[in-house]
Amino acid sequence: MFSYALKPEIGNLVVLVDQFHEFCRAGHVPETVEGHLKLALDELVSNTIFYGNPDPDSVIQISATVTGQTMNMEIVDFGIPFDPFSRDDPDTSMGIDERKIGGLGIYLVKKLMDHASYQRVDNRNVVRLRIDLKKDANSNND
């Protein structure tokens, strides 16, 4: 089981991702899946830090467990109610000049994960993610 808590400062993401990398390596998580999960951590935790208005003394809690071929992750913060998945999907068909990047991060999380959900539980924002660890092997066999 992976468990980590960080104060809401953007520099703390480095250590979070380092620790998560160690967890993935110990569990032989395929590199592609690990990349997807690190992206999800970066997008969601930075989103909370930038827009969630968290109390500087509070913590953001991340936990992850591997059951069989599935990893489940939970990201919990004590900021204002904020559903990261409520935003409209961005237009990804624009050319280089017209392209805007807003909303792309959360869209990537939704698409890369097999499941992504948000729930307000008491005074906490709870984001749950699930990804199939065999994704890597499957896509290589295409």
Partner 1 sequence: MTDFPYELSDSVLMVTLDGRLDTNTSPQLEKFLAEKLETGQVKGLVIDFEPTEYISSAGLRILLMAAKKMKSSGGKLILCALSDHVQEVFDIAGFTPVFNIEATRDLAVVAAQN
Binding site for partner 1 (CB under 8 A): 10-11, 13-14, 17, 21, 31-32, 34-36, 38-39, 42-43, 46, 92-97, 99, 101, 104-105, 107-108, 111-112, 136, 139-140
CB of 121 to partner 1, least distance (A): 26
Helix (H, G, I), strand (E, B) or coil at 74: strand
In this complex, which beta carbon is closest to partner 1, that of residue 78 or of residue 109?
109
**CB neighbours of residue 104 within 10 Å:** 15
Nearest to 124 by CA among 52, 70, 37, 47: 52
Q: Cα–Cα distance between 97 and 84 in angstroms, integer? A: 26
CB of 23 to partner 1, least distance (A): 15
CB of 137 to partner 1, least distance (A): 11
In this complex, which beta carbon is closest to partner 1, that of residue 34 or of residue 77?
34
Q: Cα–Cα distance between 133 and 23 in angstroms, integer? A: 14
